[in-house]
Amino acid sequence: MKQIKCNHIGIHCVGVKKTDLFFEKILGMPKVRDYIISSELSEKLFGVDKETIIHTFDNGKLRLEVFISESNNQKGYSHVSIEVEDIPSFLENCKQVGLEVRHGKTEDGKNRDLWFVNDFSNNLYEIKELWD
C-alpha cells in the first residue's frame, strides 16, 4: 500500500483578528502566507462566489489553510485533532481568551479524558497529549 501524507487542512474561520489570535497566540503556529483568491476561482473550486482571504499557518508539523469570511460555520462532527505539550496550560490559555473548553470521558471502560475546544469561528479541535 502506498503511503499518504497530509499536505494541509483547509478550514473556514470568521474575521482576521480572531483567526490570527487563535492560530498564532493560542496554537503558536506562525503565519507563513496571506493571499486572496478571486471570486471566479472560489466559485469554481468551492462553490462560493466571493473573493476570499486565505491565511496559511505552519509550524513544521501541521499546515492549515484558513479561509476567512464574515459568516460562521454550523456545528457538526468535523474536527481537527491536535497534540500539545502541556494540556492544562493550553486549556487555560483558551479559557483566558474566552474560548469554551469541553471535557468528557471515553466510554470504552478506560475512562480517559477527552478535551475539545472551538475556535472563534466554531471549528472544533480535539486536544491530545503530544507524543514523539
The full set of domain ranges for the chain reads 9-129
What value does the mean pLDDT of the chain take? 88
Which homologous superfamily does the CATH classification assign to the domain defined by 9-129? 2,3-Dihydroxybiphenyl 1,2-Dioxygenase, domain 1 (3.10.180.10)
Q: Give tens-digit pLDDT for 120-131.
A: 988 889 998 877
Q: Give tens-digit pLDDT for 27-73.
A: 999 999 999 989 888 888 788 888 999 999 999 999 999 999 887 76
Give CA separation, 66 vs 18, 31, 57, 60, in Å: 12, 10, 8, 16
Measuring CA to CA, which residue among 95, 102, 104, 129 is closest to residue 116? 102
Lowest mean pLDDT among 11-15, 16-20, 45-49, 122-126: 45-49
- Residue, of 6 and 103, whose pLDDT is higher: 103
Residue-level pLDDT at 44: 85
Across the beta sheet with 63-69, the strand order is 9-14, 63-69, 52-58, 31-37
Three cell numbers at 42?
Answer: 472560489
Q: If pLDDT is split at 50, 70 and 90, which confidence band does 3 have?
A: low
